[in-house]
């Protein structure tokens, strides 16, 4: 079924416009799925796949110690693949129909307190790397961008005089996000003083560059963030997504409209955004317990 898988991945890339990271995730999932079908179920052709084979694969994932979240993601991939087979390969029946998605616990995202955010963003120094790091963190917290979206920003995406950035999110959906004054000042300082020094006479369209003058990578940003959090004495486990979670939670805590937050985050479904309302309620309970004399 290699040919069908390749066609499906091509469809996701060209027609759906999904990111490289998403395509790689689909590819990894389908490699495991197809290998199981061929080796365990002795399936050679797509039209031989039945519901029982998919159930066997899901049981295999469970027996292998895979998390419920992983199984749910795998099933989502399988469904999309089988829908493609029915549509493009004239496979008569979608074998993935009516298979219930494994129930997964919805964990509340970890967020930083206001003081922790202030500490993280309070970077001293005017050398090019510090100025760049301050600008990246300010933009990430000010906009709630995903780290991939942040590092994909080009010079044409910045509209500093108007106070916003343009972002191409998942599925190539464009959104416009306001840029706060602190982030705007940090970016202007970076563009005027740090970026020219980092470019080293190279020509790069990406906004944020590494010390070689090339576009910053996710791995590079991750190392920078961990080092800054460690230096600032932040004990919480922190990832690039932590600032996105903090952005949304702090907006809602201060009275922002849920639909507006959904728009800025680029969530297709508002139910995804609603998780942050639960975070806000959880934090309120903690405040009550800590400070009410009769809690």
Residues 6 or more apart in contact with residue 246 via CB below 8 angstroms: 111, 112, 117, 141
Rounded CA gap, 202 and 196, in Å?
9
Rounded CA gap, 210 and 199, in Å?
9
Active site residue 146: yes
Given 146, 195, 245, 250, which residue is catalytic?
146
Rounded CA gap, 251 and 240, in Å?
18
Given 51, 66, 170, 232, which residue is catalytic?
170
Rounded CA gap, 191 and 79, in Å?
45
Helical ranges in the chain per DSSP H? 2-14, 20-39, 51-63, 68-88, 114-121, 128-143, 147-151, 181-189, 195-199, 218-231, 240-253, 258-265, 270-273, 275-291
**Inter-residue contact 261 to 251 (CB < 8 Å):** yes
Active site residue 267: yes
Given 26, 141, 190, 276, which residue is catalytic?
276
Active site residue 211: no
Given 82, 134, 195, 244, which residue is catalytic?
244
Active site residue 3: no
Given 267, 285, 288, 294, which residue is catalytic?
267
Q: 164-168 and 174-178 as β-strands: parallel, antiparallel, unpaired?
A: antiparallel
Active site residue 276: yes
Q: Do you know the residue count of the chain?
A: 295
Active site residue 170: yes
Catalytic residues: 146, 170, 241, 244, 267, 276
């Amino acid at each position: 079924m290699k040919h069908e898988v390749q066609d499906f991945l091509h469809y996701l890339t060209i027609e759906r416009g999904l990111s490289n990271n998403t395509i790689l995730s689909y590819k990894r999932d389908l490699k495991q799925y197809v290998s199981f079908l061929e080796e365990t179920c002795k399936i050679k052709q797509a039209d031989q796949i039945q519901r029982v084979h998919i159930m066997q694969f899901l049981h295999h994932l469970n027996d292998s110690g895979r998390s419920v979240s992983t199984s749910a993601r795998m099933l989502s991939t399988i469904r999309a693949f089988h829908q493609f087979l029915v549509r493009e390969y004239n496979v008569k029946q979608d074998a993935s129909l009516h298979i219930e998605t494994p129930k997964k616990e919805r964990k509340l995202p970890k967020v930083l307190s206001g003081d922790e955010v202030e500490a993280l963003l309070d970077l001293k120094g005017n050398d090019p790397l510090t100025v760049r790091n301050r600008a990246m963190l300010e933009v990430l917290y000010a906009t709630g961008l995903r780290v991939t979206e942040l590092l994909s920003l080009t010079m044409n995406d910045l509209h500093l005089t108007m106070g916003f950035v343009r972002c191409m999110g998942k599925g190539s959906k464009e959104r416009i996000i306001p840029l706060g004054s602190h982030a705007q000042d940090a970016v202007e300082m970076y563009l005027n003083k740090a970026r020219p020094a980092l470019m080293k006479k190279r020509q790069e369209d990406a906004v944020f560059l590494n010390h070689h003058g090339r576009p910053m990578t996710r791995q590079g940003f991750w190392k920078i963030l961990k080092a800054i959090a460690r230096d600032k004495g932040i004990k919480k486990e922190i990832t690039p997504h932590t600032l996105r979670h903090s952005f949304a939670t702090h907006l809602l805590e201060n009275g922002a409209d849920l639909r507006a937050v959904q728009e800025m985050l680029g969530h297709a479904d508002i139910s995804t955004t609603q998780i942050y309302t639960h975070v806000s309620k959880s934090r309120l309970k903690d405040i009550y317990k800590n400070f009410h004399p009769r809690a």
